[in-house]
Amino acid sequence: MSLQGHAPLEGLPAADQICLVVRDLEAALRMYEPLFGPFTVLDSGPFESVYRGEREMVDLPCAFGRSGTLEIEIVAPRSGRSPHGDFLEAGREGVQHIRYVIDDLQAWIARAAAIGYRPVWSGSYPASPAAPPLSWCYLERDGDPLMIEFVQFG
């Protein structure tokens, strides 16, 4: 199978995270701790985002583990509209998106549009003592249940 003609994503760095969306975070941690643990749990409460053009407060408790250099994120949506909640409502559980850390969020969104991706969920976090500021955008395309996430730090 040839992938010629797909130059818009040339230069995309290696994925640095996969995300599993689950109904029960505690059960998932017990299941995946032997593979990807120990996990760091983050339950910071609701935060603002933009989902399908609408401002939305979401509450997404999550946990972070590792497999070598690959971060494993587990998300268990609690409230608010997000791709994670829609994934569960569609009867799915498991890998929902793959993340790429990029240097120019808007440029990569435009490049991904050339192969059918469109932005559906976005937001940002200000700098904190523990982390630099970041902006993110999830993208989807027709016929593909796997979303991609672009994250830009700084």
Query: Between the CA of residue 14 and those of 52, 76, 126, what are the distances in Å?
Result: 27, 25, 25
Q: Around Cβ 1, how many Cβ atoms within 10 Å?
A: 2
pLDDT of residue 132: 84
Place of tokens 């996969």: 18
- pLDDT, greater one: 132 or 112: 112
Region 129-141: what's the mean pLDDT?
Answer: 91
Assigned domain for 5 exists? no
Nearest CA among 8, 12, 21 for reference residue 97: 21
Assigned domain for 137 exists? yes
Nearest CA among 145, 139, 133 for reference residue 12: 139
Q: Which residues constitute the domain of residue 119?
A: 14-153
pLDDT-derived band at 108, boundaries 50, 70, 90: very high
pLDDT at 129 over 90: no
Residues 6+ apart with CB under 8 A from 65: 32, 33, 35, 36, 37, 38, 39, 40, 71, 72, 74
Assigned domain for 22 exists? yes
pLDDT of residue 131: 79
Length of the chain, in residues: 154
Convert the pLDDT of each residue in 70-106 to its tens digit.
999 999 999 999 999 999 999 999 999 999 999 999 9
Assigned domain for 76 exists? yes
Region 22-48: what's the mean pLDDT?
Answer: 96
Nearest CA among 135, 137, 112 for reference residue 51: 137
Indicate the number of domains in the chain.
Answer: 1
pLDDT of residue 138: 98
The pTM is what? 0.91
57 vs 93: CA distance, rounded Å: 22
- Find the CATH number of the domain harbouring 132: 3.10.180.10
Assigned domain for 128 exists? yes
Assigned domain for 106 exists? yes
- The dihedral through the CA atoms of 62, 140, 142, 144 has a sign that is negative
Assigned domain for 50 exists? yes
pLDDT at 1 over 70: no
pLDDT of residue 3: 52
Nearest CA among 75, 55, 76, 72 for reference residue 64: 72
pLDDT of residue 7: 67
Q: What percent of the chain has pLDDT over 70?
A: 95
pLDDT-derived band at 127, boundaries 50, 70, 90: confident
Task: Give SS3 for 126.
Answer: coil
pLDDT of residue 5: 55
Give the alpha-carbon dihedral of 67, 70, 71, 73, to 10 degrees. -80
Assigned domain for 1 exists? no
